[in-house]
Amino acid sequence: MPPIGEWISYTNYTSKWRSFRIGDYRDFLGTFLTEKIQKAIEHWLTRNFTNSSGMHREPGTEEIIRQATPYIHSSFEGEAILSIGKAVDFAQKGASGLINAMPFTCMPGTIVNAVLKRCREDHDNLPLLNIAYDGQKEGNTKSRLEAFIYQVRQYQEKINSSNA
C-alpha cells in the first residue's frame, strides 16, 4: 500500500499543474506554499524513521508519474496512475510479488488490473494477484493467496539463483 502522503502530494501536483496551465498564478502560489508547509511537517514527523533499517525512500509525485508513463499517459489523472507508478517502484526496489486489492467494480482498480499485466511482463513476470472485494465472503480467496505465496517463493528462488 502506498502511503497516504502520496495522494496528498499528487493532489497538490495536479492542482499546481492546472493552475499554471490556466494562468491562475495566485492559486498556484497558494498550493505551492501549502505543499512546502506539508513537506516540512512530514519531514519533522518522519525524521526519526528515515535511517531505520529496511526503510526505502519514497519517490516524489513526479517520479511516480514518470514510472507509470510507459503504461498509462500522464494526463490520465487519479488513483490508476499512482497505483501503476507505485507498482513499478516496488518492482524496482526488489518486491517479489504485487497484490492489487480493489473494491468490486472500481473503475481505477479495473484499469490498474489490466495495465499491471504488461507491467508484470516488463519486470520478469513478477507474481501478481488482483483481488476485488464486494463485501461478500469469498471461498476461493485463501486458495488464491496460497497460490500467490507459492509463486512469490518460486520467483525469489529464481532471482536468488541468478544472483549467485
Residue pLDDT, tens place only, 1-42: 566 778 888 899 999 999 999 999 999 999 999 999 998 998
> What pLDDT, on the 0 to 100 scale, is given for residue 72?
92
> What pLDDT, on the 0 to 100 scale, is given for residue 67?
94
CB atoms within 10 A of CB 78: 13
Mean pLDDT of 75-90: 89
Q: Under a CB-based contact definition with an 8 Å cutoff, are residues 91 and 127 in contact?
A: no
Mean pLDDT of 117-143: 84
Q: What is the pLDDT of residues 9-20, one digit of tens each?
A: 889 999 999 999
Mean pLDDT of 143-156: 91
Residue carrying C-alpha cell 533499517:
53
The Cα–Cα gap between 46 and 78 comes to: 26
The Cα–Cα gap between 25 and 32 comes to: 10
125 phi, psi to nearest 5 deg:
55, 45
pLDDT band of residue 55 (cuts 50, 70, 90) is low
Q: Give the global pTM.
A: 0.76
> What pLDDT, on the 0 to 100 scale, is given for residue 102?
83
The Cα–Cα gap between 159 and 132 comes to: 29
> What pLDDT, on the 0 to 100 scale, is given for residue 7?
84
Is residue 142 pLDDT above 90, yes or no?
Answer: no
Average pLDDT, the chain: 86
> What pLDDT, on the 0 to 100 scale, is given for residue 1?
56
Mean pLDDT of 48-61: 70
pLDDT band of residue 98 (cuts 50, 70, 90) is very high
C-alpha cell recorded at residue 13: 501536483
Question: Residue type at 61?
Answer: T
